Amino acid sequence: MNQPMSKLSASADRRDSTVAAAAGRATSSRRGVCLVVHDDMDLRLRLAALVRRVSPLLDADSVDRTAFAALSLERIGHYLAVLFIIEFSLPAGGADPLANVARLRNQAPRMPILVFARGGDERNAARTIKLGAMDYWPIHAVKVDELGEALKPLVESVRNAAAPAKTVDRRRQPEIAGYRLLKKIAQSAGATVYLAHNDELAQPVALKVQAIEGLRIGSEADRQRFASECKILSGLNHRSIADVLDFGITADYLFLALEYFPCGSLRERLKNPLSEVDALNYARQIGEALQIVHAAHIVHRDLKPSNVMLTDDNRVVLIDFGSARSQLIASDLSRSGSSTGTPYYVCPEQIAGQDPDARGDLYSLGVVLFEMLAGALPFEGKTLAEIFAAHRSAGVPRLPKHLGRYQPVVDRLLAKDPADRYVSALAFLEALTAASGTAAIRSPAYAPISKGAVDS
């Protein structure tokens, strides 16, 4: 587990210079120029044309790999970004397709790099991001609007260079010292998550940013809730719980830097059917993560597929404790005027306005387990009221016959009364092991969690 590097005492004068440097690369005609690299001239010219379609403030040069290798760092430094078209389908035994990406990242660590792949897969995507690319697309799937979102910071840098006196709305364009925001990857009413780069960290990060001032957020309870999330995550240590890499408060923002998972979430994975083996594997890992969470007297309160991330070695990692709370915190500290959680995964007692305990997380896990096995949600409806009514009173639907041995486990998890559910995540894991006939599951080893990790 990485220890958080608090930036609360960082100098207010420290600022990420990447975008400013990009602005300096704008041409005298007030257009920023990107560089496209590939040996097929027709293909790179088509990508260059796509760049120009993104914004009238952007232009693009294109060169083959030999010409790129001959360019000096000074010359490359005049470009806003380098766009590599990478061939992953070449015969094995040749040069590493990502060699130019790795070399450029080492030589020019602040240069934005985008990769467009032919023949790549999820592992290639994960390795590309780890090498420092700000984004990755299959070349056949890239769209103008997606490319525009990725290049938006560069377009803004050119625009700001053309009008340096213009005041930037910081709530729309956060400035977090030491971080270069690469693209927006998620947004809710209260916070925005960016793919970001920090020179002091070894990998790209998911940077969650929450404005202190605004119409929807800014109360002391909001700040306490965010700080609680940071404290909770930094006190946990398990391979199935996301690492906190950094957190802090600036004059305008609260921020939290977490591991970035380029393979996406379980929500995306569920768009295609899961095998029984994968469903059980993911359920076990989530159960093990909940053991650690509950041992620290923490209830997640928002367990759902979009808060379960996938790694390139098929592990799952639990994220987003924004609705979590320690049972040691006074009951009114984390209350809000609206119900937290997600309608399809929320437990009946939470719908009734009660504070769920660990058994509420097990109910949500039951919904996820049913969805992974059956390929559909157990409780649905056309309106929020119908969904809530199903959680409160509808019977648990049946799994397909060939998966019937797991029905008692699902029934117990989805019991309406918390007293009828498993007493702990370990009890669930033992029941799942018995139902599947696999080796007994032992309580996972984890670093001791001090009382200070959960006290407020």
Collect all residues with Cβ–Cβ distance below 8 Å to 188 and sequence separation of at least 6: none
Q: Cα separation of 100 and 425, whole Å?
A: 47
The radius of gyration computed from the CA coordinates of the chain, to the nearest angstrom, equals 24
Q: 3-state secondary structure string, 144-176? A: HHHHHHHHHHHHHHHHHHHCCCCCCCCCCCCCC
Spatial distance between the Cα atoms of 261 and 436, rounded to a whole number of angstroms: 29
Type and span of the H or E element at 253? strand 253-259
Verify whether residue 302 is a known catalytic residue: yes
d(CA 163, CA 158): 9
Exactly one of 16, 222, 246, 302 is catalytic; which is it? 302
Measured from the Cβ of residue 437, the count of other Cβ atoms closer than 10 Å reads: 7
DSSP letter at 236?
-
Cα–Cα distance between 280 and 353 in angstroms, integer?
A: 31
DSSP string, 167-208: PP-TTTS---TTEEEEEEEEE-SS-EEEEEEETTSSS-EEEE
Which structure tokens are listed for 259? 């591991």
Q: How far apart are CA 304 and CA 342, in angstroms?
A: 8
Distance CA 55, CA 57 (A): 5
Alpha helices in 71-143 (DSSP H): 73-76, 99-107, 122-130
Using an 8 Å Cβ cutoff, are 23 and 157 in contact?
yes
What SS3 state is found at 254?
strand
Could you give the residue numbers annotated as active site? 302
